Chains A and B, each alone.
Chain A
């Protein structure tokens, strides 16, 4: 997936979320999203299918790959 995010996409996202952003700040928000989402867009989620999210965060926990999802 491309790391690029257009201003139109940012505006669409804001419209869906129902939030208002000042006209002169769209570009700054777009840059924020591009940087934050770059690692996510670089990953093929199928390649990490067994990796569970850190929803219950425990600093000491061992790395959890989680149970197989049945596809592999």
Chain B
């Protein structure tokens, strides 16, 4: 096993090869570290590499395999977005403010993946505090999109998307306040799931917006996301929003066919302004789902255009979190993030409350729709990844996104590849489901993935 076959192997295949002794976690980890050394100077996915620790963990995994340990994630090399606290390992949040912060405890998600046997390769670059964008001159270089390094990989889990797409790790952690797991998955042609609010712990993760922040995994296939989510999901007393809802068998659910599954298409808002290539890829994906036996029908979310009020909530909460540092050490924030955070101070208390009222109405309407269908399908992003030049152009506004409605509603939402633009950039399908029904969303995504080849394409790195 070498080359692309090794760098892009999935969790099930790696586990099989580990147990047949055709490959060892040390060999895999060494190969990925060599690949990181070769590719990362261009892609900037990692902000901190923990090579010695990774090799030690891989050796421990190898010993556990010899003892007959059957954990599916044993020996699987992963990266953690640098917004998850890691004990004894610098955690920057992509910010000069925390450039030298070394936490004394792991975040719950990191603990759970390490306990499941994962090998930590390092920390993956994040947009500054999960919201800013690394403009030229920023303390940390921005990750680049492996499909075309002139384009952004999406954010804020930018390093996670870039590392997975380029075959530098097998799984990754991201966070998603307005699309920061699904956006990089979309732009980099990989898979990411934002679970239900409360499904995965936020404890030990830097806050952007308390009521919108979600944690979750990214990987290169729906099945790999299911394996990672299985280890991450579950109640955590350290997170006040954590849910005690029982955890499903995510990987086990994938085998069930989707014949008869009702899939709702919400065209209003989600297709507004979408590129022709995105619309075409989306309609083709719907035909594939129909061919698989799904009952695909249009649905309507009456007040979906309330979704942009998401920004009132996110910016207000983010300003509340950052206010002291913004006022006392503003120079430690990047220009763009500082401006975005400062905008959070410009909303009135009444406006925040009104936005939370509209949020409640929208969430109710989305739940009403999900009483008539099992899954809502949309394009993840109306357009493929823009260039850095476009993102850094201060005359250009913040682009509209299809992802925040699922942060507002807290519903689980999966992003997976469904095509490519004429310029060779990935296009993504978003599938969202009822609260705590991640298994249904993953099942739909897996069935689609098995019927298509998009997730098997590799970038020219």
Contact = CB atoms under 8 A, between A and B. Distances in A.
Contact of A40 (B243, B307, B358, B365): B358
A36 B345 contact: no
Interface in B324-345: 326-327, 330, 335, 339-340, 342-343, 345
A43 B327 CA distance: 34
Given A17-B345, A22-B335, A43 B397 contact: no
A40 B354 contact: yes
A27 to B, nearest CB: 8
A17 B339 contact: no
- Among B305, B342, B359, B409, max chain A CB count under 10 A is at B342
A28 B339 contact: yes
Contact of B343 (A22, A24, A33, A53): A33
A24 B394 CA distance: 9
Given A32-B311, A35-B308, A53 B345 contact: no
B304 to A, nearest CB: 10
A57 B346 contact: no
B360 interface: yes
A34 to B, nearest CB: 10
A35 B356 contact: no
Contact of A59 (B303, B306, B354, B435): B435
- Among A13, A17, A21, A54, max chain B CB count under 10 A is at A54
Nearest to A12: B346
Interface in B359-393: 359-361, 363-365, 367-368
Interface string B304-322: 0111111110010000000
Contact of B353 (A17, A38, A53): A53
B359 to A, nearest CB: 5
A46 interface: no
B343 A29 contact: yes
B198 A28 contact: no
B346 A33 contact: yes
B211 interface: yes
B410 A32 contact: no
Interface string A28-68: 11011101111110010100100111110111101110000
B211 A57 contact: yes
A29 B343 CA distance: 7
A52 B358 CA distance: 9
B378 to A, nearest CB: 18
B411 A54 contact: no
B119 to A, nearest CB: 32
B357 A52 contact: yes
A32 B355 CA distance: 15
Contact of B311 (A35, A45, A53): A35
Contact of B355 (A40, A51, A63): A40
A25 interface: yes
A60 B246 CA distance: 13
Contacts of A28: 339, 394-395, 397
A52 B361 CA distance: 9
Given A25-B394, A35-B397, A51-B357, A40 B345 contact: no
B397 A37 contact: no
A24 to B, nearest CB: 7
Contacts of B241: 57
Given A39-B358, A51-B361, A63-B360, A19 B309 contact: no
Interface string B17-54: 00000000000000000000000000000000000000
B324 to A, nearest CB: 13
A29 B311 CA distance: 12
A17 B345 CA distance: 6
14 contacts: A13-B346, A18-B345, A20-B342, A32-B343, A37-B309, A37-B347, A38-B309, A40-B309, A45-B357, A52-B357, A53-B357, A55-B356, A59-B243, A59-B435
A-B pairs, top 3 by smallest CB distance, nearest first, are A63-B364, A59-B410, A53-B356
Given A17-B346, A39-B307, 12 more contacts: A20-B330, A29-B346, A32-B315, A36-B309, A36-B347, A39-B355, A40-B312, A53-B354, A53-B359, A54-B211, A58-B198, A63-B365
